[in-house]
Chains A and B, each alone.
Chain A
Amino acid sequence: MTEETRNVRRIVPPVDIYETENDVVLVADVPGATKENLQIDIDKGELTIKGTFERQDNDGETLVDECIYGEYYRTFTLADTINPEKISAKLNDGVLTATLSKREKVKPKKITIETE
């Protein structure tokens, strides 16, 4: 069991967000996070990403230290154009991809022009 320690370094993961016709897709870099420790949830119109990047072993002398270990944390407020009930997420090679659906009313509607 790991005890929760205070002063864990908080890492703000960089994100790309793009929209397609029906969805809004959020892509976040969370290297070192695993399926077991990464959480994504929506509560009260807020989407939160949480995860951990831990050093695997502490033996040896560190010569170069550019990596930042700690806890990934980032919160977004969802616009009401997004349906919070429809979300899917996957984690691949340290990249989290969350797909959120737009509500029906904001989806572009194609109107077919009929000929008589």
Chain B
Amino acid sequence: MRLAVWDPFREVDALQRAANYLVHSVPPRSRTSYPPVEMVDKGDKIIVTAEAPGLNKDEVELSVLGDTLTIAGEKKLPAEEGVNYIRHERPHGKFRKLIDMPYSVDRDSISASYKDGILTITLPKAEEAEPKKVIVE
């Protein structure tokens, strides 16, 4: 009878992986709150992309209060009942991330899309955030 925990996957590159971390100095994921984001200033708008695989896009909560963008949602376990987990590395659970915007954004024209596990939020800058040319007389 088999009672011991059975690991059918023996990893071969664990050591190599540790070495890679040193070579490429990839920061450990846990240092940033979930999900990791990127924010790019495109001149007239700010683009925020979040690495958030496996979300139900209808359950993602996006809101802007003041100049703070909030991304909230829940990443669920792939299977709940009747299964035996051998490995558990993927983050799961509820998350809420607050991101401060460097400019005022036009809250009425924010749009978002979700593709390949990447959430892309487009936040047009508010008019008052646009640079204004002042002519010296």
Contact = CB atoms under 8 A, between A and B. Distances in A.
A93 B116 contact: yes
Contacts of B6: 19, 79, 81
A40 interface: no
Contact of A63 (B8, B9, B32, B102): B102
**Which of B17, B51, B84, B117 has most A Cβ within 10 Å?**
B117
Contacts of A64: 37-39, 48, 99
Contacts of A19: 6, 8, 83-84, 86
Contact of A79 (B7, B37, B118): B7
B132 to A, nearest CB: 20
Interface residues of A, number: 48
Contacts, number: 152
A78 B9 contact: yes
Contact of A16 (B10, B77, B116): B77
A85 interface: no
Given A76-B12, A94-B53, A31 B90 contact: no
Given A16-B77, A74-B13, A94 B117 contact: yes
Interface string B36-66: 1111111100111101111101000000000
Contact of B11 (A24, A77, A93, A94): A77
Nearest to A29: B53
Interface string A1-24: 000000101111011111110001
Interface of B: 6-13, 17, 20, 24, 26-27, 29, 32, 36-43, 46-49, 51-55, 57, 77-79, 82-91, 99, 102, 114, 116-118
